[in-house]
């Protein structure tokens, strides 16, 4: 089995600066020296790095395309791919890649760590070695997890269902609205019923590389003023907004909020309702306080994560810039398992 390791940076690849004490990305040779076992096992591992390696706070849509392109360029030569990535924005990248790929039929596993690989107590080696094993896991039918997923601290999740929830513990991620695809203990046990099934053949891989960045996230809070809402909704050429609401998708009933939202929707801005709760789904119309959103033309994000919604919106608005109706229709559809409509 052959696995390609794409090293983008992040804590996993970092070393401490002797003078300032701050962590910064190491070069690939330094990284390799910390994990000699990577290149000594049954799985043939090769590595390609980003140059320079980056903290994931510095990644953007161009970086997502770069990662996807690296997979694409080596797609036929490898059985699976592992992307080493900083944990801070890993859920955004994993979500974005799930939308970029068309016809993915090999595993693409994101992982990283909370402590640098060179630190004695580091979680890096376990995460890395298990991710490689998952990327190379095939049975008689083909790859066991032929989708973009994320492995960390014993759990494998669908990438576009994850959120970084912890900056302290090794268990940094959670998939609140979709079960784990696998759990790794002594053995790796796969929850096959939740994994995208392999279609029986490796299809040609397509890449959809256009992202619209004229989007925003508007988080509601008790006491939010018209000025704040206007500052976002009146951004010139704004194309899409993730509206973070309360509970089951609720919002204050101010007339001005309705008017501002309606006005933006009428200008062609796509606005999607995403609850601030991690678990559960938007159900507009369930409470009277969400009726105005419905009337304003805000659409439901169901149980999607903010990371998946934002990247999906950027992807759809980038790929289909002139058809708001189609974009809205696809935002209300599961493209690759990122949402569930009850």
The residues annotated with a catalytic role in the active site are 11
By CB under 6 A, the residues from 93 to 112 that bind ligand ASP are 112
Nearer to ligand ASP by C-beta: 113 or 245? Answer: 113
Contact region with ligand ASP (CB under 6 A), list: 81-89, 185-193, 224-232, 268-276 = 81-89
For residue 53, which of 32, 37, 35 has the smallest C-alpha distance?
32
Residue 321 phi/psi, 5-degree rounding, is: -70, -20
Residue 305 as a binder of ligand ASP (CB under 6 A): the answer is: no
Residue 11 as a binder of ligand ASP (CB under 6 A): the answer is: yes
Q: Which position among 7, 45, 55, 158 is part of the footprint of ligand ASP (CB under 6 A)?
A: 55
Q: Which position among 5, 7, 10, 100 is part of the footprint of ligand ASP (CB under 6 A)?
A: 10
Rounded-to-5 percentages of helix, strand, coil across the chain: 30, 25, 45
CA atoms of 238 and 232, how far apart (whole Å): 9
CA distances from 14 to 23, 88, 138, 255 (A): 6, 14, 31, 51
Q: What 3-state class would DSSP assign to 254? A: coil
Q: Which position among 31, 49, 53, 56 is part of the footprint of ligand ASP (CB under 6 A)?
A: 56
Residue 290 as a binder of ligand ASP (CB under 6 A): the answer is: no
> Under a CB-based contact definition with an 8 Å cutoff, are residues 149 and 109 in contact?
yes
Burial 266-304 (b: 16+ CB within 10 A, else e): eeebbbbbbbebeeebbbbeeeebbbbbeebebbbbbbb
Residue 8 as a binder of ligand ASP (CB under 6 A): the answer is: no
By CB under 6 A, the residues from 112 to 131 that bind ligand ASP are 112, 114
Q: How many residues bind ligand ASP (CB under 6 A)?
A: 10
Residue 142 phi/psi, 5-degree rounding, is: 145, -155
CA atoms of 117 and 113, how far apart (whole Å): 8
CA distances from 266 to 259, 270, 294, 323, 324 (A): 10, 9, 13, 14, 11
Nearer to ligand ASP by C-beta: 11 or 311? Answer: 11
Residue 86 as a binder of ligand ASP (CB under 6 A): the answer is: yes
Minimum distance of ligand ASP from residue 143's CB (angstroms) = 27
Nearer to ligand ASP by C-beta: 63 or 281? Answer: 63
What single string gives the DSSP state of each residue in 139-183?
A: -SSSBS--SEEEEETTEEEEGGG-EE--SSSS--EE-SSS--SEE
Nearer to ligand ASP by C-beta: 49 or 86? Answer: 86
Residue 240 as a binder of ligand ASP (CB under 6 A): the answer is: no
Nearer to ligand ASP by C-beta: 56 or 311? Answer: 56
Minimum distance of ligand ASP from residue 22's CB (angstroms) = 11
Mask for 134-163, x = binds ligand ASP (CB under 6 A): ------------------------------
Minimum distance of ligand ASP from residue 55's CB (angstroms) = 4
Contact region with ligand ASP (CB under 6 A), list: 32-40, 86-94, 259-267, 313-321 = 86-94
CA atoms of 281 and 272, how far apart (whole Å): 13
Q: Which chain residues interact with ligand ASP by CB under 6 A?
A: 10-11, 55-57, 86-88, 112, 114
């Amino acid at each position: 089995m052959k696995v390609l390791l794409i090293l983008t940076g992040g804590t996993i690849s970092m070393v401490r600066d002797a003078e300032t004490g701050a962590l910064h990305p190491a070069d690939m040779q330094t990284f390799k020296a910390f994990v000699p076992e990577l290149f000594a096992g049954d799985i043939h591992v090769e590595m390609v790095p980003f140059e320079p390696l980056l903290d994931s706070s510095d990644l953007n849509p161009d970086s997502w395309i770069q990662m996807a392109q690296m997979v694409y360029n080596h797609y036929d030569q490898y059985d699976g791919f592992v992307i080493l990535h900083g944990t801070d924005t890993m859920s955004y990248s994993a979500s974005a890649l799930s939308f970029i790929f068309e016809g993915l039929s090999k595993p693409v596993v994101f992982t990283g760590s909370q402590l640098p690989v060179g630190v004695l107590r580091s979680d890096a080696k376990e995460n890395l070695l298990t991710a490689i094993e998952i990327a190379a896991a095939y049975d008689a039918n083909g790859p066991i997890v032929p989708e973009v997923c994320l492995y960390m601290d014993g759990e494998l999740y669908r990438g576009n269902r994850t959120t970084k929830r912890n900056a302290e513990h090794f268990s940094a991620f959670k998939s609140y609205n979709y079960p784990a695809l696998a759990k790794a203990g002594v053995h790796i046990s796969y929850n096959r019923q939740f994994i995208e099934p392999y279609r029986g053949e490796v299809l040609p891989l397509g890449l959809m590389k256009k992202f619209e960045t004229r989007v925003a996230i508007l988080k509601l809070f008790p006491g939010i003023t018209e000025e704040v809402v206007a500052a976002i909704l009146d951004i010139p050429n704004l194309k899409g907004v993730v509206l973070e609401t309360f509970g089951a998708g609720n919002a204050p009933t101010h007339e001005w909020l309705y008017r501002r939202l309606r006005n933006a929707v009428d200008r062609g801005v796509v606005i999607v309702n995403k609850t601030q709760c991690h678990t559960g789904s938007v159900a507009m119309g369930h409470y009277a306080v969400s009726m105005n959103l419905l009337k304003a033309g805000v659409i439901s994000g169901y149980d999607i994560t903010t990371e998946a919604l934002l990247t999906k919106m950027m992807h759809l608005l980038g790929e289909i810039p002139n058809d708001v109706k189609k974009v809205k229709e696809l935002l209300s559809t599961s493209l690759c398992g990122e949402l569930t409509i009850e």
